[in-house]
């Protein structure tokens, strides 16, 4: 019962923060609400038994990516972009299609059969019984070793690309 109540609180916070992210006029307000959103999502991960992913979520998202966003907002020193929306017929049409799909999905899920989660004591998620981080490391460095190495190559590429794109163009020599 306590877990259900906690999930309800977190779900409400996520809904409110997500709406504020997309509706706030100021980019800084959006970024701060995105931090709150990601933090509450980490809470839900912990509730679902994914402790290590919750820690990574707080460290990487709330710690690194959002700092990057805030840093860029500060660097560009923007005025608040006027609160117009580019609502052409194409955007409104796409939005209506997405809205209909979302409605169908929600109605189906709320009226359809319940898909139960495993109970907290179930041993399906723990291989060795030494905790979530231990099991995750075991799987990550055996079954997913090559994707893991490829991820490091991807990060290297992104770093090089970021430096190259954001670098100031060469000054013309006189």
Partner 1 sequence: MVPFNYIIVLSAFMFFCGVFGVLFRRNIIAILMSVELMLNSVNLLFIGASKVVGNLDGQIMVFFIITVAACEAAVGLAMVIAIFRKFGSIDTDKLRVLRG
Size of the site for partner 1 (CB under 8 A): 84
Site map for partner 1, 137-166, x if CB under 8 A? Answer: --xx--xx--x---x--xx-xxx-xxx-xx
CB of 78: closest distance to partner 1 in angstroms? 7
128: tokens are 């060795």
Distance in angstroms (rounded) separating the CA atoms of residues 61 and 39: 9
Quick one: how far is CA 25 from the chain centroid?
Answer: 21
The answer to whether residue 121 forms part of the interface with partner 1 (CB under 8 A) is: no
The answer to whether residue 44 forms part of the interface with partner 1 (CB under 8 A) is: yes
CA-closest candidate to residue 80, choices 27, 122, 126, 31: 27
Distance in angstroms (rounded) separating the CA atoms of residues 30 and 21: 4
47's CB contacts (< 8 A; 6+ apart) are 3, 6, 7, 10
The answer to whether residue 100 forms part of the interface with partner 1 (CB under 8 A) is: no
120: tokens are 């907290």
The answer to whether residue 109 forms part of the interface with partner 1 (CB under 8 A) is: yes
CB of 130: closest distance to partner 1 in angstroms? 13
The answer to whether residue 136 forms part of the interface with partner 1 (CB under 8 A) is: yes
* CB closer to partner 1 out of 65 and 130: 65
Q: Determine which residue in the list 9, 95, 100, 145 makes contact with partner 1, applying CB under 8 A.
A: 95
The answer to whether residue 9 forms part of the interface with partner 1 (CB under 8 A) is: no
Distance in angstroms (rounded) separating the CA atoms of residues 43 and 39: 7
């Amino acid at each position: 019962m306590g877990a259900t109540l906690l999930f309800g609180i977190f779900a409400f916070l996520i809904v409110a923060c997500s709406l504020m992210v997309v509706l706030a006029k100021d980019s800084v307000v959006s970024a701060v609400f995105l931090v709150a959103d990601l933090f509450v999502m980490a809470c839900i991960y912990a509730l679902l038994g994914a402790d290590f992913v919750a820690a990574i979520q707080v460290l990487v998202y709330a710690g690194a990516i959002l700092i990057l966003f805030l840093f860029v907002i500060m660097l560009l020193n923007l005025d608040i972009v006027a609160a117009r929306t580019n609502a052409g017929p194409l955007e409104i049409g796409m939005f209506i299609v997405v809205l209909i799909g979302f409605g169908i999905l929600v109605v189906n899920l709320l009226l359809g059969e319940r898909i139960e989660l495993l109970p907290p004591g179930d041993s399906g998620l723990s291989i060795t019984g030494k905790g979530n981080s231990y099991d995750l490391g075991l799987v990550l460095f055996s079954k997913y070793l090559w994707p893991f190495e490829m991820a490091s190559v991807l990060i290297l590429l992104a770093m090089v690309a970021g430096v190259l794109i954001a670098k100031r163009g060469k000054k013309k020599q006189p």
